[in-house]
Structure 1
Amino acid sequence: MSIAAYKRTIIETEAPRQIERRILAQVTGQLEQHQEKFDASGDLSERLSLLAGDLRACLWDNEQVWLMLRSDLSEPENALPPQLRAGLLSIALWIERQTNLVMRGTGNIGPLVEVNRSIIRGLAGDAGTAELQEA
C-alpha cells in the first residue's frame, strides 16, 4: 500500500477527534521519555544539555500541535461550545508559556504531560474530564 493510500485510509476511517487524540498521544509519549530525567535535574546546565538533544524537538512538536489546535479553535466554523473553546484556547496559551519556561530550563515537563493526558482522556470521552468542559 502506498503512503498516499495509507493517508487516505486514515482520513476516511478516523474521525477528527480520533486523529487529534492519536497525534497528541504521540507527542505526549515523546515528552514522557524525557520527563523524569529533565524534571529531576536541578542543574540548569544539565537541563540545557538535555534540551540540546532531541528534547527540544519534542517540545517543538508538542507546541506545534497546540498551535494547530489553537488555530482550529479560533475559527468561526468551529462547532465546539463557546465556553469549551475559550477554556481550550486558554490551555493552549498556557502550553506556550510553560514550553517557554522549559526551553529556558526553568520549567518542568510534567505539567505539559499532565495537561496533554487530560485532553487525551477528554478526546477519548472519559468522564474524568468534566472539569475541562466546565472551564
Structure 2
Amino acid sequence: MSLDAYRRTQSISATPRATEYRLMSQVTGDMIQARENGLKGAALMRPLHRNREVWSTLAILCGSPGNKLPAMLRASIISLALWVERYTSDVIRQRDSIDALISVNCAIIEGLAMENGSHPPMAENVLPV
C-alpha cells in the first residue's frame, strides 16, 4: 500500500475530533520544541504561524452556517482564536512568552482526548505526530 493510499484511508476513517486532536498535538509539539530550542521573537514565526492558521480555521468553521456545535462553544472557540491572534503578535515582539499559547492548546488537546474517551496526555509530553 502506498503512502498516499494510506493517508487517504486514514483521512476517511478518522473522526473530526481525532483529526483535530492530531493537528492540535502536532502544532503544540512544534511550539514546545521551539521553546525547548530557545527560539524567541521572529525565530518562532513558523510554529506561531501554523498555530494561528489552525485557530483561524477553527474560528471560520465555528462561524459557518450549519455548524452543529453548541452556540456557546462556538463563541468560546472564536474568542480563543481572536486571543491567539493578538497574543501571538506579542510573542513575536517578545512582549510575552510562548507558554500561554502552549497551555491553551494543551487544554484543548486534553478536552479532545476526554471527548474521545482516551487518557489526556501530559502537557509536556505532547509531541509532533
TM-score (norm 2): 0.81
Indicate the SS of the match to 1:58. Answer: helix
Task: Report the counterpart of residue 78 of structure 1 in structure 2.
Answer: 67
Alpha-carbon distance in structure 2 between the residues aligned to 1:102 and 1:14: 33
Q: Does 1:87 align with 2:89?
A: no
- Percent identity, please: 42
Alpha-carbon distance in structure 1 between the residues aligned to 2:12 and 2:20: 15
Task: Report the counterpart of residue 85 of structure 2 in structure 1.
Answer: 96
Per-residue deviation, residues 111-131 of structure 1 (Å, max 9, x unmatched): 00000000011111269xxxx
Larger radius of gyration: 1
How far did 1:13 drift?
1.7
Higher RCO, Cα 8 Å, sep 6+: 2
How many residue pairs match? The answer is 115
TM-score (norm 1): 0.78
Alpha-carbon distance in structure 2 between the residues aligned to 1:91 and 1:19: 19
**Displaced runs of 4 or more, over 2 A:** 1-4, 34-38
- Structure 2: gaps of 5 or more residues: 118-129
Task: Report the counterpart of residue 28 of structure 1 in structure 2.
Answer: 28
Per-residue deviation, residues 88-111 of structure 1 (Å, max 9, x unmatched): 110111011111111112121000
Q: Which structure 2 residues correspond to residues 28-67 of structure 1 after superposition, within 5 A?
A: 28-36=28-36, 37-38=38-39, 47-48=40-41, 51-52=42-43, 55-67=44-56
